[in-house]
Structure 1
Amino acid sequence: MSDPMKTARAAAPTETALGFSVLSTVRQDLFAGAFAPRPLPPRAEPRADGPLRRLPAGIRRRVRWAPHTVVGVAAVFAFLVGLAKGVQFHSLYALVTFTLCCVTTVPIALILIRPVGAYWISYASVLLSLVYDDQWAALALLCHLMVMVLVVLRTRPRLAVEMWAVTFISGALLLALAPGTTGNELPQFAAGSAVVLVAAGAVRAWREERRTVVATQTVKEQERAQRTVLEERAVIARELHDVVAHHMSVIAIQAEAAPYRVRSTPPELATSFTTIRENAVAALAELRRILGVVRSGDSDPFADAAPEAPQPTLADLDTLIESMGATGLKAQAVVTGAVRPLPQGVELSAYRLVQEALSNVLRHAPGACARVEIAYVLGGLGLRIVNGSPDRPATPSPGAGHGVLGMRERVQVLGGEMTAGPDGDGGYEVAAFLPVDMPASAAPAVGGGPADKDGKEATA
């Protein structure tokens, strides 16, 4: 059985500590650095594609200062109302009224620079108005409520409770200690201001929560984009391994067979061929090891459904378009320039770019037609995939936009350039250029071959 007295003694320090904690929080919020400058920064400039996109750019930039303008207008309006309640300025009473009007309304504008300091100045004006005049007390309390609401919106929700308690508890004590003091409307005003401050605190809490959610979503989106890039790099590494490994294997085989094709091979030449073969085999092993590190998340980095299947090239473009046509996408391919064999890496990347672009059309532009343009030019290969506007809304895709990241990664690996975005007619356009270093003997003659005249078209 526990002793009730011991329980009470054990609870007493806890309650005392709680009280000191509350006082420490109030001191930190309302007293520590109360008049330190905390200027209100302008709002972020509205986006060009936002709700204000139809306004001129100059007006959109000035919208950033809208909160400052509203607070300034409110301060001027309150000052004019205070002057209207004054009397002739040539009397001493009018001078006191003018001074009290400034003390009452200036804190509204001061919130833009020193919010907590503005509260204390407004609080002092309320105490003065309770002693000065009952009619003036009503205006002072209204201005003070405006100051408290703006301070809550600028700082944190808990200040609503702290400022309300300091203002009206001290006001009630003043009325009790000085019976002749005005302020008969203080109790009713306290109840009404509590409701307003609770609403302001709720709005501030909602804004903070929304800002936190937006920041979290932004971080998640960045992380997902980074994962997409890394996954695409792993796929590119796997595909480039197949291309590079083929050439290295040919080098190794040719270096091993070369000494047997020459009679009386000099020892120095045989040694050179042996060195070439050993380096080629070592390069293959190193390439495989590095690729295994890149794809370390797989149990077997080199395992797939059909390991013996060759990588696709632009020669398989007709098959790709036919398969897209079976899913309902009407696509057309147009090839211009002198068709020539390209490095396997370029062929593979070009095929993947077209494949991803057409897949994006299926996902994001249902019912739209697509056109694939491939141009064999001096120095490289040009690609352009454009689609029209969709005829129905697209189903939301959780990975929207990440396919473009993968395409950019492929183009950058080859040292090319790529652009992607709306084409201005309700459709979307992807354009890329993949550079190819060609020997002078392989360069096509000016004017091109037969494909320059007729081209090649495939429709599905």
Structure 2
Amino acid sequence: MPQPPQPPLWQSAREQARLLADALRTPSHAPTPVLASAKNRWLRKLPYLVALAAVGALLPVTMTVLAQDYGMADAGARALAVAQTAPLLLALTRPLQAWWIVFAADVIGGAALIGADHVAGNSWPWPPTVVIGYLVLMAFLGLRESRRTLVGVWLATGAASVLFELIRSDLSDGIWVLMIVLSAVVLVVTGALRERGEVQRRLAAQETISEAERARRTLLEERTRIARELHDVVAHHMSVITVQADSAPYRIAGLPPEAREEFGAIAVSARESLTEMRRLLSVLRSEDADGELAPQPGISRVQQLVEATVRAGVPAELSLSVGASPVPQTVDLSAYRIVQEALANVVRHAPGAVTRISLTSDGTHLTVVVVNGPADPANPPGPPLESVGTGHGLVGMRERVRLTGGTLDTGPLPDGGFRVAARLPLTTPPPPASNPTSTSMEDDE
């Protein structure tokens, strides 16, 4: 005859009992020392000192108490004392296994003391030495095992205490209640400390991951911005090529048919390249990128940038000596962005600092130098400017210098100021190496 279905409450209780039994059988951690992950050296050694002190003090005292106060035979007292105290050394790395040994020894000891000569008038079923050793073991357990394991240990302790009380309540002096309460307190406190440490470690790991992701996102954002600006630069030249190729047969008389076909093919290829670049730009350009359709700035707008910085409360001086040498559009834009980011850092991190900006050209390289002194303590940070920068600081400078094939040097000065120096080639740069830029400090963003 089929059995009636069990009530859901009973099934839930059985499942919880099974989980508790599994938790008591299987440790929730590898056999590593208690507090092994602590940063403080003395804190890592503390469990060893506690275990050695507990075993060294409790072992002889337990032997004496069992033999003299309770009248147990010497051999039995020695064996029981060793079983109840020595496993505390094992608890340094395997507290759950040590608890099984100590708990079994304590239960056997409680049962053996029922027939002892002088048990009346003494604490039973747990002698005071048993309570002290058991609480030390609870502390080791709470610092290592999971919450479910701790609940199982406490329930087993309470069940054994109640069982002894039911068997011989006339011998009990109420120490079983003290055992249950104190073990619960120790498990709760040490378990809370363990969980707090785990939460702090997870938060630290998450912060490390978040910082790495933030740096990666900053780099990707700046590269995307450079790609958009590079499109504007290249698109201009491609448009000129298209117009020149289309108009060549009309501007140059006597062109052979082969040359006309070649110019036509060049114009078609240029138009196809422009179409592909516009498709790429539609992916890179975000919908909320205000001002990205405006003409790209260059060295000619550095003076306006410096004037805006002066209005923000930063005394800045500009020395501009570029000469008549043509400046490639990518270098022109990169030089402006480098000055922009350098001045933005001054406004944010060194308000009121005297700043000198220098742009010089020797015909082959453009040198950009921005040097600021220490911040003026009496000058608060200035208000945001229209040209405060992309917000990517030295990361953006490195990427722009890498684009042009130049070099970048940044670092603090002895007087507390900061220096940014970039050297950008005015000719076609060679293929970039794996790390063409050299910097002396990390981004201060």
* TM-score for the superposition, normalised by structure 1: 0.71
Contact 1:414-1:434 within 8 A present in 2 as well: yes
Alpha-carbon distance between aligned partners in 2 of 1:367 and 1:102, rounded to the nearest angstrom = 74
After superposition, what is the alpha-carbon deviation per residue over 1:427-458, rounded to whole angstroms, capped at 9, x for unaligned? 5555555455459xxxxxxxxxxxxxxxxxxx
Residue of structure 1 equivalent to 2:17: 23
Contact 2:55-2:88 within 8 A present in 1 as well: no
Aligned partner (choices 289, 308, 311) of residue 323 of structure 1: 308
Alpha-carbon distance between aligned partners in 1 of 2:405 and 2:171, rounded to the nearest angstrom = 82
**How has the CA–CA distance of structure 1 residues 276 and 147 changed in structure 2, closer, same or farther, with 3 Å as cutoff?**
same
**How has the CA–CA distance of structure 1 residues 222 and 96 changed in structure 2, closer, same or farther, with 3 Å as cutoff?**
same
Contact 2:84-2:130 within 8 A present in 1 as well: yes
User: What is the deviation of 1:364?
Assistant: 3.4
Aligned partner (choices 48, 65, 81) of residue 72 of structure 1: 48
After superposition, what is the alpha-carbon deviation per residue over 1:402-430, rounded to whole angstroms, capped at 9, x for unaligned? 54444444344445555666657655555
Alpha-carbon distance between aligned partners in 1 of 2:103 and 2:423, rounded to the nearest angstrom = 68
Corresponding letter in the other structure for 1:126: D
After superposition, what is the alpha-carbon deviation per residue over 1:323-360, rounded to whole angstroms, capped at 9, x for unaligned? 11101123344568988543211221222122123223
Alpha-carbon distance between aligned partners in 2 of 1:420 and 1:191, rounded to the nearest angstrom = 63
Q: Within the alignment, does 1:187 sit opposite 2:187 as a pair?
A: no
User: What is the deviation of 1:289?
Assistant: 1.1
After superposition, what is the alpha-carbon deviation per residue over 1:352-376, rounded to whole angstroms, capped at 9, x for unaligned? 1221232233233444444445565
Residue of structure 2 equivalent to 1:117: 97
Identity of paired residues, percent?
A: 35
Mapping of 1:9-158 within 5 angstroms? 13-31=7-25, 33-34=26-27, 37-40=30-33, 42-43=36-37, 63=39, 66-83=42-59, 85=61, 103-128=83-108, 130=110, 131=112, 137-158=127-148
Q: Within the alignment, does 1:283 sit opposite 2:269 as a pair?
A: no
Alpha-carbon distance between aligned partners in 2 of 1:14 and 1:159, rounded to the nearest angstrom = 24
Alpha-carbon distance between aligned partners in 2 of 1:404 and 1:221, rounded to the nearest angstrom = 16
* TM-score for the superposition, normalised by structure 2: 0.73
**How has the CA–CA distance of structure 1 residues 337 and 320 changed in structure 2, closer, same or farther, with 3 Å as cutoff?**
closer
User: What is the deviation of 1:253?
Assistant: 2.3
**How has the CA–CA distance of structure 1 residues 419 and 125 changed in structure 2, closer, same or farther, with 3 Å as cutoff?**
farther
Q: Within the alignment, does 1:200 sit opposite 2:190 as a pair?
A: yes
User: What is the deviation of 1:244?
Assistant: 0.7
Residue of structure 2 equivalent to 1:162: 152
Which structure 1 residue ranges, 5 or more long, are not aligned?
A: 1-8, 45-62, 440-460
**How has the CA–CA distance of structure 1 residues 281 and 95 changed in structure 2, closer, same or farther, with 3 Å as cutoff?**
farther
Corresponding letter in the other structure for 1:314: I
**How has the CA–CA distance of structure 1 residues 329 and 71 changed in structure 2, closer, same or farther, with 3 Å as cutoff?**
same
Q: Bigger shift: 257-266 or 247-256?
A: 257-266
Contact 2:92-2:140 within 8 A present in 1 as well: no
Contact 1:158-1:201 within 8 A present in 2 as well: no
Alpha-carbon distance between aligned partners in 2 of 1:436 and 1:104, rounded to the nearest angstrom = 83
**How has the CA–CA distance of structure 1 residues 327 and 24 changed in structure 2, closer, same or farther, with 3 Å as cutoff?**
same
After superposition, what is the alpha-carbon deviation per residue over 1:95-151, rounded to whole angstroms, capped at 9, x for unaligned? 766665654455444344323223323323433554469789433332322332332
Residue of structure 2 equivalent to 1:457: none
Residue of structure 2 equivalent to 1:351: 336
**How has the CA–CA distance of structure 1 residues 200 and 229 changed in structure 2, closer, same or farther, with 3 Å as cutoff?**
same
**How has the CA–CA distance of structure 1 residues 289 and 27 changed in structure 2, closer, same or farther, with 3 Å as cutoff?**
same
Corresponding letter in the other structure for 1:410: R
**How has the CA–CA distance of structure 1 residues 345 and 137 changed in structure 2, closer, same or farther, with 3 Å as cutoff?**
farther
> SS of 1:85's equivalent?
helix
Corresponding letter in the other structure for 2:305: L
Contact 2:59-2:86 within 8 A present in 1 as well: no
After superposition, what is the alpha-carbon deviation per residue over 1:186-235, rounded to whole angstroms, capped at 9, x for unaligned? 32232233223222333334344444545555555555544444433332
> SS of 1:360's equivalent?
helix
Q: Bigger shift: 34-43 or 67-76?
A: 34-43
> SS of 1:144's equivalent?
helix
Alpha-carbon distance between aligned partners in 2 of 1:181 and 1:35, rounded to the nearest angstrom = 38
Which structure 2 residue ranges, 5 or more long, are not aligned?
A: 114-118, 385-389, 430-445
Aligned partner (choices 301, 310, 314) of residue 299 of structure 2: 314
Residue of structure 2 equivalent to 1:388: 374
Alpha-carbon distance between aligned partners in 2 of 1:71 and 1:401, rounded to the nearest angstrom = 49
CA RMSD in angstroms comes to: 4.2
User: What is the deviation of 1:19?
Assistant: 0.5
Residue of structure 1 equivalent to 2:287: 298
Contact 1:74-1:108 within 8 A present in 2 as well: no
Corresponding letter in the other structure for 1:160: L
Alpha-carbon distance between aligned partners in 1 of 2:344 and 2:31, rounded to the nearest angstrom = 51
Mapping of 1:374-413 within 5 angstroms? 374=359, 376=361, 381=367, 383-386=369-372, 388-389=374-375, 391=377, 402-413=392-403
> SS of 2:162's equivalent?
helix
After superposition, what is the alpha-carbon deviation per residue over 1:141-168, rounded to whole angstroms, capped at 9, x for unaligned? 3232233233223233343332222123
Alpha-carbon distance between aligned partners in 2 of 1:374 and 1:380, rounded to the nearest angstrom = 7
> SS of 1:113's equivalent?
coil
Query: How many residue pairs were aligned?
Result: 401
